[in-house]
Amino acid sequence: MVGRFAQRSPRKFRRSIPGGGHKAHRLIRKGSAMTKVISLSDLLYAPEGLIDVDRMTESFGMSKAKLAETVGVRPDTLQRSARASSPKTQTRLLEVLEILNRVADWAGGVPQAMAWYRAEPLPSFGGRTAESLVKDGKAAAVRDYLDRVALGGFA
């Protein structure tokens, strides 16, 4: 039978991942054994390969000005698409997403990971938060710290 039903692709279902927050999902193809886990950064990418600021603000429940403050760029930077797509801004957004992705499972979800990112003092850095370190361009140090803690090292 040729018709609209014959040309459908396999159905997809979304299921929440426990502890993955409200935006982390697992796509499961019906009739297929293949499962793909999608990270937070995968969900927030725009089709052209850049991080979508609107999706990011929506998923974190904050304004563009608050997100700009969190990321460490000027408030008007995220209001204009040309500035939001600049390499510096995209790098900062990606650094924040990478850190939040690593912490989301431990923290119990994306909102809790954002709270940790903004408020939890890190003993290895003299009580500075991950947010203040990323603003100073030390995101690599935060990622190394998280790797060390994940491997069983001390904070």
pLDDT of residue 61: 86
The torsion region of residue 13 among left (phi > 0), alpha (psi -120 to 50) and beta comes to beta
pTM, rounded to two decimals = 0.67
DSSP H helix total and E strand total for the chain: 8, 5
Q: Kindly state whether residue 41 falls inside one of the protein's structural domains.
A: no
pLDDT of residue 81: 84
Domains held by the chain: number: 1
Collect the ranges in the chain with pLDDT lower than 70. Answer: 1-47, 154-155
pLDDT of residue 82: 87
Question: The tokens of 29 are what?
Answer: 């193809």
Q: Kindly state whether residue 59 falls inside one of the protein's structural domains.
A: yes
pLDDT of residue 46: 64
Specify the length of the chain in residues. Answer: 155
Q: Kindly state whether residue 40 falls inside one of the protein's structural domains.
A: no
Instruction: For residue 70, give its domain range.
Output: 47-150
pLDDT of residue 55: 86
Q: Kindly state whether residue 130 falls inside one of the protein's structural domains.
A: yes
Q: Kindly state whether residue 34 falls inside one of the protein's structural domains.
A: no
Q: Kindly state whether residue 60 falls inside one of the protein's structural domains.
A: yes
What is the distance between the alpha carbons of residues 108 and 148, in angstroms, rounded to a whole number?
20
pLDDT of residue 69: 92
If one counts every other C-beta atom within 10 angstroms of the C-beta of residue 120, the result is 13
Q: Kindly state whether residue 81 falls inside one of the protein's structural domains.
A: yes
